Amino acid sequence: MCVYSWGLVSRWGPKLRSPQVQKLINHTELNFAFVAKKPGCRSLRINTEACWACCHTWERPVPEPPYIQRHHRVCTYSRTRHLTARLPGCRPGVSPIYYYPQALQCDCTYCSSNHTVCETF
């Protein structure tokens, strides 16, 4: 079984573009575009690098009761650089600074909700 996953931390939910990926055998840093949003500011399209890969596992998901907890490994950050962007058109008193990570290195590891959304689909 192979679990595909991607990870990018953003408080206001980035949207993944259709990736032009030839073959995902190892972990890769993929160019990722999302719209940064913050209350009181206009949105801004940002390009960064996010993790995307196929993490092999022998665990089978259990999507029905009794919902046995599984610990699938997912492709997530092992090294990041934190970047900032300046959002346009912010109201007075609203900081235009928006923080987001850039993937420098990715690995298959167990999901940590400290920096990744660990929901199953």
Residue 121 lies in a domain: no
Residue 93 lies in a domain: yes
Residue 28 is predicted with a pLDDT of 62
Counted domains in the chain: 1
pLDDT reading at 13 higher than 90: no
pLDDT in tens, 43-52: 999 999 888 8
Q: Which of 6-15, 21-30, 69-78 has the least mean pLDDT?
A: 6-15
Residue 14 lies in a domain: yes
Q: Residue 91 maps to which CATH number? A: 2.10.90.10
Residue 119 lies in a domain: no
**pTM confidence score:** 0.61
pLDDT in tens, 67-113: 666 667 788 888 889 999 999 999 999 999 999 989 888 888 877 77
Residue 120 lies in a domain: no
Residue 115 lies in a domain: no
Residue 117 lies in a domain: no
Residue 115 is predicted with a pLDDT of 67
* 42: nearest Cα among 73, 102, 80, 86: 86
**Encoded amino acid at 91, one letter:** R
What residues make up the domain containing 20?
A: 2-110
pLDDT reading at 118 higher than 80: no
Residue 103 lies in a domain: yes
Distance CA 87, CA 57 (A): 40
